[in-house]
Structure 1
Amino acid sequence: MEARDFELLIGQNIIDRYHSDETRPAVFELLGREWDLLDDVWPPAYSPGGELFADLIPFTEMSSFLEMGCGTGIMSVLAALSGVERVVGLDINPAAVRNTELNAGRHGVADRVTARVSDLYSAVTPDERFDGIYWNPPFLNAPEDVVDSSIWHETMFDPAYAKLRRFFHDALGLLTPEGRVYLWFGEALGNPTLVRDLADDIGYELRVLKRIELTEIPEALADAFPGDLVAGADDPDAEWHLHLLELTPLRSR
């Protein structure tokens, strides 16, 4: 099986798990807080991402922050709770925008957090600049001819990583002089240098803030990954992992 077909299988397994799950709560707990969860918004309890390591992002040094693909809005809320004065959450999914607004209100930071429906940066105004931009993007490179425009395919797949390339490239014009990009990404399926290669091509210095081996995938999603893939994480040459990355534009040095 080709790598992209393999990634399609895994992604579709995860989507099917979501649709068959009748136990998703309307409110869930993460990081010692309760969060609202609307239908058609990805449940972080399935696979918590960079929000688990938000303390590694220097929010106290920022006055503005953008969360791409805000989903339930956890990272946006955490940024505001850490003192960031202006937080913008963007998502192509209108339900996610509503969900972010709900959680900003729940945690008393609605005056600092603005959520907008956006296709990548389309809803960013020309005068806006940010000290930090964060994204937990689609990890999987499925064949383009089988990916549709549904919310779940948008969430799960990025054929040829075209969206990730646009995210990095366009961020250069939206960062303040000291701004940084933060990415939670999984290079788990045979391309262990993808982000580093993109960083080199576009003009970023990359630093790993946190790395997690693939064998630590959430139990709720373990059966979405074929057994030979998880077992292969024992191979030190595979470099299958998840990580929180900080990318600094080289122009700011």
Structure 2
Amino acid sequence: MEARDFELLIGQNIIDRYRSDDNRATVFELLGKEWDLLDDVWPPSYSPGGELFADHIPFDTMGSFLEMGCGTGIMCVLAALAGTERVLGLDLNPAAVRNTELNAARHGVADRVSARHSDLYSAVRPGERFDGIYWNPPFLDAPEDKVDSSIWHETMFDPAYAKLRRFVREGRELLNPGGAIYLWFGEAFGNPTLVHDLAEENDCTLHVLKKIQMSEIPDALADAFPGELIAGDEGPASWHLHLLELRPR
């Protein structure tokens, strides 16, 4: 099986696993806090990402912060709680915009956090600039002709990593002097040199703020991964996950 077809299979299995889960809670706990979860918004409780290591991002030095693909708004809220005065969440999913607003209100930072429906940076207003921009992007590079425009495919797949390339290229131009782009990115299947290449293409230095290795699939997603496909001769593959900082030179 071609690598991109494999990524399509895994991604679709994860989507189907989530959509068939009739026991999704409307409120979940993460990082010692409770969070609202609306239908049609991906639950971080399934596979927590960069929010687990948000303390590595220097929010307390930022006056402004943008979260791309804000989802439930956890990173937006954490930035505001850490002292960032102006926080903006962007998401292609209108339900995620509402979810971010709900969690900002739940945690008392609605005066600092706003959210907008946006196709990447389309909702950024003229003159807006940020000290930090963050995204937990789609990890999977599926064939373009097999990916549709549904929220689920937009969340899971990025053919040829076109969206990620735009995110870095256009985001660099939205940074204040001294600002940086932050990424939670996984080297599970795709191109292990991708982010290094993107840093060079956009004249950025790359810093690894956190790196973890996983040899087991999260319990909530285990049945989405066919064991015979991910296990090689030496057993299950390792997953390298990174919280990365790209800072313009």
Q: TM-score range by the shorter chain?
A: over 0.9
72-81 vs 225-234, which deviates more?
225-234
9-18 vs 205-214, which deviates more?
205-214
176-185 vs 223-232, which deviates more?
223-232
Q: Aligned-residue CA RMSD in angstroms?
A: 1.7
| Other-structure match for 1:145 | 145
Matching of residue 210 in structure 1 with residue 210 in structure 2: yes
SS of residue matched to 1:246: strand
Letter in 2 for 1:131: D
Please say if residues 215 and 238 of structure 2, whose CA atoms lie closer than 8 Å, have aligned partners that are also in contact.
no
1:37-62 Cα deviation digits (max 9, x unpaired): 00000000100010000001000110
Displacement, 1:174? 0.3
1:133-164 Cα deviation digits (max 9, x unpaired): 00000000000001111000000000000000
Distance 1:208 1:78 in 2: 20
| Other-structure match for 1:89 | 89
Moved over 6 A (4+): none
Distance 1:233 1:76 in 2: 42
| Other-structure match for 1:11 | 11
Give unmatched runs, 5+ long, in structure 2. none
Please say if residues 215 and 233 of structure 1, whose CA atoms lie closer than 8 Å, have aligned partners that are also in contact.
no
| Other-structure match for 1:243 | 242
1:52-75 Cα deviation digits (max 9, x unpaired): 000010001101000000000000
Distance 1:138 1:83 in 2: 28
1:191-236 Cα deviation digits (max 9, x unpaired): 211111111112111111111213144211122223255545968x
| Other-structure match for 1:29 | 29
Distance 1:55 1:115 in 2: 22
Please say if residues 172 and 181 of structure 2, whose CA atoms lie closer than 8 Å, have aligned partners that are also in contact.
no
Distance 1:191 1:249 in 2: 22
Pairing of 1:178-193 with structure 2 (within 5 A): 178-193=178-193
209-218 vs 104-113, which deviates more?
209-218
TM-score (norm 2): 0.96
Please say if residues 187 and 194 of structure 1, whose CA atoms lie closer than 8 Å, have aligned partners that are also in contact.
no
Distance 1:100 1:135 in 2: 15
206-215 vs 113-122, which deviates more?
206-215
206-215 vs 50-59, which deviates more?
206-215
Give unmatched runs, 5+ long, in structure 1. none
Please say if residues 213 and 233 of structure 1, whose CA atoms lie closer than 8 Å, have aligned partners that are also in contact.
no
How much identity, in percent, do the aligned residues show?
Answer: 78
Q: How many residues align?
A: 249
Pairing of 1:90-239 with structure 2 (within 5 A): 90-228=90-228, 230-232=230-232
Displacement, 1:33? 0.3
Letter in 2 for 1:248: R
TM-score (norm 1): 0.94
SS of residue matched to 1:152: helix
Cα 1:178–1:144 change in 2 (3 A) is: same
SS of residue matched to 1:80: helix
Please say if residues 141 and 160 of structure 2, whose CA atoms lie closer than 8 Å, have aligned partners that are also in contact.
yes
Letter in 2 for 1:82: A
Please say if residues 214 and 233 of structure 1, whose CA atoms lie closer than 8 Å, have aligned partners that are also in contact.
no
Distance 2:230 2:209 in 1: 23
